[in-house]
Structure 1
Amino acid sequence: MPGNDTSSKAADSSAAAVALLETVRSELAAVKLGLELPGTDKARAATKSALAQLDDYILPRYRSLDAPLLAVVGGSTGAGKSTLVNALVGHPVTRAGAIRPTTRQPILLHHPADGLWFADQRVLPNLSRIRGVKVDGPIPANQAGATPDAAAISSLVLVEDSAVPQGVALLDAPDVDSISDDNRQLAGQLLAAADLWVFVTTANRYADAVPWKLLLDAASRDIMVAVILDRVPPAAEAEVSEDLRSMLAKQGLADAKLFVVPEVPLDNLGMLPAETVAPLLDWLKTLAKDAAGRADIARRTLNGTVKALSGTVELVAQAAEAEDKAGQQLAEDVRSSYSDAVERILAATKDGALLRGEVLARWQDFVGTGEFFRTLEQNVGRLRDRLGAFFRGQPAPAVKVETAIETGLQAVIVDEASNAAEDADQRWRQDPAGRRLLGTDDLSGVSANFPERAAAEIRAWQGSLMELISAEGQGKRNQARWLSFGVNGLGAALMIVVFSMTAGLTGLEIGVAGGTAVVGQRVLEAVFGEDAVRRLAQKAREDLQTRCEALLVAEQQRFLERLRVGTPAAELGKHAEALQRLAAQA
């Protein structure tokens, strides 16, 4: 049937809207704006506000489009909000008086038949529920409502009263300009959860800045507003009313309902005469009786709020995009510092620098005497004649060569990692966002366990060289020579070949390092052949590079882990467009 089809389409549309809004809520909550950039504070506040409004109003209203309208009564300190609410129900239900603030926790008045809509956490889910206590007999307005300190401000007092029109609930909110920060924040939260506003001001305060800031927010959301001009001297009613109407029209609120409450004495209970609020009460009753009209008001406010949410999501998307770009630059600074360090380490392994000092001495001790090397320096070409000496005798242990290489290479790696950390730290401290990420932490040196990790990685590299030697030597015709020299000895020779280039050395060092490298290379060639030696050296170098890169990539995480990644800006931008389309639906 056509009616069923229409109802089904509406249900599908509502379900799709809820799904979109839940996705937006989830991704907004995932946004991490951790950098200090221009506009970030505004985006953080907007994100927090948007999440609250999604929870308090947008999602609950989309899930329950037929729920009663929530009319929030708000305004400035001393405007007479609580007195107005009491007058609307005909007896004191919320505290009114001279002591400020009088409304310290919100009171929600509803018809008994509407109780189920507000008893659970459907709307304003972060506020716990407290049942209002009914009092026998009339009580003065300055004693009505909850005792100020009886419950936390994070509570919502629910009061049933048959005088409240069924279909519309009234929520007496704290002052929007309260001296209490908590009260001001709660007032803003409640107004953001309203289907319509009943905004109370006075004849001498209607032009104050704080109320107008909120009224402009209402205009941006296209929310229905009823403005109550309270305590107006009869002689000034025409002039003040005309001026206020003009101000409303200029600010896009020409459709706002304006009700004037004259300045009259209160009775002995602190109540206004019923006739002073009769026009406002009649208007609320008319809204309550018109189900279609209530739905239109809810839809209008909802669409306006979603449109405003779209702008907020776009703002957050732009902030996330700016943070992503800034974060990429900070990350690039770090990666560049550590990449340069890897290059310097590899250069040190190729230019013969590691063949100085202890490494050279231990290698000389291993392959022959100092006299042998002095002769070798004079005539490197005689090396081939002396190779037999290496294989006829039992070579000295190669462990000291490995240890010396480990110590020398570790010193180079640690030193360059420290230089990289200092460089990255300086780059970040030159950037306001980087400075904020670092705070008081000093990351300009290596982490405490880095030297041990570097040493362990070098030993693992040396072990992998031994495995290469073992694999290459299996099945060789010259296995006797291989076994005579030993896996450790050939491994030490391979390490020497890896560090054999002599660029950067001068004078006697060139002769010594050159002779050292030739010895290692000729030994390996005698066992495996020239091509195999080149291949083994290349694999060893590649393995060393991979391990150095892994060490420094792990070390740079101390910086990069501070760059927390949230929802991609592109996704938020798409959601902003989807919200615009949703808000445009009639």
Structure 2
Amino acid sequence: MVRESDGDNARLLAAMTRFRHALERATLPLDLPGANEARHLRMRLVDQLDDYILPRLTSIDAPVLAVVGGSTGAGKSTLVNSLIGREVSSPGVLRPTTRSPVLVHHPDDADWFADQRILPGLARVTGGPATAVNAASVRLVATDAVGRGLALLDAPDIDSVLAANRELAAQLLAAADLWIFVTTAARYADAVPWDLLREAAERGTAVAIVLDRVPAEAMDDISAHLADMLREQGLSQAPIFQIAESPLEDGLLPRGQTARIRDWLAALAGNATARAAVVRQTLQGALESLDGRAMALAAASSQQAAAAGALLDTARNAYDDALEGVQVGMRDGSLLRGEVLARWQEFVGTGEFFRQVETTVSRLRDRVTAWFKGEPPPAERLGEALQSGAELLISNHAELAASAASRAWRSLPGGEQLLAVDPALTRSSAGVDARIERLVRDWQGDILDMVREEGADRRAMARFTAYSVNGLGVVLMLLAFTSGGLVLLEVGIAGGTAVVGQKLLEAVFGDQAVRELAQKARERLLQRVAEVYAAERGRFYEVVERLQVSGESSETLARAAADVKAAR
């Protein structure tokens, strides 16, 4: 129930305000199945909170707002003018007939409607019926013909040919304490108005029906049928006011035809208890209708969060797979072919050196020492070949990751939508090749630093290391792209190459140190690759995170709705 005390209303208002903030955060940006319906539901709920529930809770004693709504050509404006006794709302000939809302109130109630307390999205204008206004404004008319405590609002057509008019009509009806629905004998069973009447029934909105242009001979039958339809929709308490088909007098309905509804409205305006009952009925109905709608929105928000999470997981998995692919490429010896193999053989002296390695480690060391005492070996060319191979390995897997992630997104809810916004996600970023080139060069610098540090700790090898930092560095790079074990001797030339590299380094540093150096070299490279891939993956993350979708929004909305239920 809506509470009577100021303290209870204050608690309810605070809970409603938190609920409104939760709605603001519960965006539904992804085009998921049912998302359009959920967005419309959210928009209608926000409108009702802003235009009715929050203003009414803030000002529980404000005048009752009766919104006069109905289908195109039903005679809404003519009815309002006839109730006032003069033209305040221009009835149109062309459709849509009512183009902008007109709010008629008692002069003493002007303060309630002049500010943004209700309908905050509509500008206020004053002036006569000929005043130029648009659908984004409401024209205020002050007159003694309306009793204090009651205001009439002539709304646009609920079935207008203009979508903006239909939306505004729905918004105004959601802002009403009382809905005066105007229909005709010819159109009272149309589907569109009954959709809104059912919504009014679900929300507990107070409703009155004006049945216009009724042939005298059919009045009883049509009224009985309409009453049955209202009862079926849970609106059996809605009063029905009949207006017989009759010619207008100076553009107004004959006074006798509107006497009953005019007296009913006057009695409502003059009776504070009756007005409070209308407000209580509609407000309580609106509050109770929040439960189901809030839960539906919380579920939709949760679906959005799940879809966003799936998109993030897909991108993460794609780049995790890419990093694993680089790791495999470093172990399987695939780089020790082609250009790298040719440069390696050039570096070590082709077949003659292989035969010497197979003899003894000491002869290997003698051979290596001889290189550095004579003409320097082409270490630079081998390093360049290794660099190109490493760059290609890393770049290829980055491109595969972008392709795999975008391909998977196309099959996931919301993914196609985000790729349309940022089609560059289907490939690696423009600057990734330059970053990878820099990455490998920096890693090569790491390798040389490691060789220097290791050589500095081995005094007996100081002279040798001084001659061979670059050479030993490229050999360590080469060894980093194999599994580093002698078992590779059985896999052919590439395996033999790895064995040679390992033997050479062991001759200088010892087997344990070589294993540690090779492992450290791999870890350093993978760490740098992971950083580049994280930046590439971040492009996907950024697109999703810009949506500001999270499971927390759904949970916050559900908690806020529960707080409202507990407070009312």
- TM value normalised by structure 1: 0.87
Matched ranges for 1:138-537 at <5 A: 145-146=129-130, 150-267=132-249, 269-366=250-347, 368-370=348-350, 372-376=352-356, 378-379=358-359, 381=361, 382-389=363-370, 395-396=376-377, 398-431=379-412, 433-439=414-420, 441=423, 443-474=425-456, 476-478=458-460, 480-481=462-463, 484-485=466-467, 487-501=469-483, 506-523=491-508, 525=509, 529-537=510-518
C-alpha displacement of 1:583: 4.8
Q: Distance in 2 between matches of 1:573 and 1:238?
A: 53
C-alpha displacement of 1:391: 6.4
Tell me which stretches of 4 or more aligned residues in structure 1 moved more than 6 Å. none
Q: Distance in 2 between matches of 1:474 and 1:285?
A: 103
What CA deviation, in whole Å up to 9, does each residue of 1:506-551 have, x standing for no partner?
A: 433432342133223433x1xxx44333333222211212222222
**SS, match of residue 335 in structure 2:** helix
Q: Structure 2: where are the runs of 5+ without partners?
A: none
RMSD: 2.8
Contact 2:204 2:282 in 1 (8 A): yes
Q: Distance in 2 between matches of 1:511 and 1:194?
A: 87
**SS, match of residue 452 in structure 1:** helix
In the alignment, does 2:29 pair up with 1:33? yes
**SS, match of residue 544 in structure 2:** coil
C-alpha displacement of 1:384: 4.1
* 1:32–1:203 Cα change, 3 Å: closer
Q: Structure 1: where are the runs of 5+ without partners?
A: 1-5, 134-144
Tell me the residue number matched to 2:11.
Answer: 13
**SS, match of residue 171 in structure 1:** strand
Contact 2:108 2:148 in 1 (8 A): yes
* 1:7–1:224 Cα change, 3 Å: closer
Q: Distance in 1 between matches of 2:493 and 2:25?
A: 66
Q: Distance in 2 between matches of 1:40 and 1:102?
A: 33
Q: Distance in 1 between matches of 2:274 and 2:561?
A: 24
Tell me the residue number matched to 1:3.
Answer: none
Q: Distance in 2 between matches of 1:25 and 1:581?
A: 14
Contact 1:410 1:454 in 2 (8 A): yes
Q: Distance in 2 between matches of 1:510 and 1:347?
A: 15
Contact 1:380 1:515 in 2 (8 A): no
C-alpha displacement of 1:226: 0.8
Tell me the residue number matched to 2:118.
Answer: 123
C-alpha displacement of 1:174: 0.9
* 1:21–1:512 Cα change, 3 Å: closer
Contact 1:306 1:580 in 2 (8 A): no
Q: Distance in 1 between matches of 2:62 and 2:446?
A: 72
Q: Distance in 1 between matches of 2:15 and 2:413?
A: 40
Tell me the residue number matched to 2:59.
Answer: 64
Count of equivalent residues: 559
Contact 2:308 2:544 in 1 (8 A): yes
- The alignment-based identity, stated in percent, is 44
Q: Which amino acid aligns with 2:117?
A: R
- What is the aligned counterpart of 1:545 among 526, 529, 535? 526
**SS, match of residue 152 in structure 1:** coil
* 1:471–1:304 Cα change, 3 Å: farther
Q: Distance in 1 between matches of 2:409 and 2:299?
A: 23
Contact 1:43 1:316 in 2 (8 A): yes
